[in-house]
Amino acid sequence: MAEQRHGARDTRDPREDVRGEAGKGAPDTKDEVARAWDELVATARRTVADGLVVGTSGNVSVRIGDTVLVTPTGVPYERLAPGDVVGVGLDGRQVLGSLRPTSELPMHLAVYRATGARAVVHTHAVHATAVSTLVPELPLIHYMAGALGGAVRVAPYATYGTEELAENMLGALADRTACLLQNHGTIAYGSSLTQAYDRTAQLEWMCRVWLTASSVPGLTPALLTREQLAEAEQRLRGYGQQ
């Protein structure tokens, strides 16, 4: 959901706002918060630069210990400053900052509670959102689906920002690291912001490939079998520098 609500900006440096609340979800080090916030803001701005979101739609989060740093609701990413840091505990209680967290906080927290994720990226990418309105699962158009855990499912529609949407999302994410949200967009997670973003971009690319191939009159795209995808997924586990 495009978040258009605006809150008062806090211009303090987050390194001065880390609360020493032992056992209550506050991060351990001030520098760790500052570095993570800088990377989160850079990732959020990248979603705009790469056309995955428009305005303040979409949101990004990163987990540090039991604290989740997340983009605030209704604040354009280019305006975010070090003092705008927003942090919540896994129970949703705000522990850092004064700006309100994203309205999609239930989805982010659901991912962290159910998986070992360290970062989550949610977008309203055009091709992925279009695919979410057409099929219950992205057809196996490319073997890179294996990098996301298998065929990408579409979570049934529910109103943005609700626990129902978070529950539907978790069902679609079972044994996966990304899914589509019907008539809404995408969500992906990873062990870092870079990985979560890369998975988001990969999903959008696959959706674009399928839509492009499906648009050719009189022809039907060739799809991979489940067996072919499983073989590719196995090979992908050893891909790149270990």
CA 218 to chain centre: 36
Burial class (CB in 10 A: 0-12, 13-18, 19+), 20: exposed
H/E stretch holding 121: strand 119-123
3-state secondary structure at position 181: strand
CB 189 within 8 A of CB 115: yes
Tell me whether residue 104 is one of the annotated catalytic residues.
yes
Catalytic hit among 3, 32, 39, 104: 104
Residue 59, phi then psi, degrees to nearest 5:
-160, 160
3-state secondary structure at position 219: coil
Supply the angle between the helices 163-173 and 105-114 in degrees, to the nearest 10. Answer: 40
CB 141 within 8 A of CB 152: no
Question: Which of 114, 142, 140, 138 is closest to 127 using CA atoms?
Answer: 138
Helices (H), the chain: 30-49, 105-114, 126-132, 163-173, 193-214, 226-236
Report, as residue numbers or ranges, the catalytic residues. Answer: 104
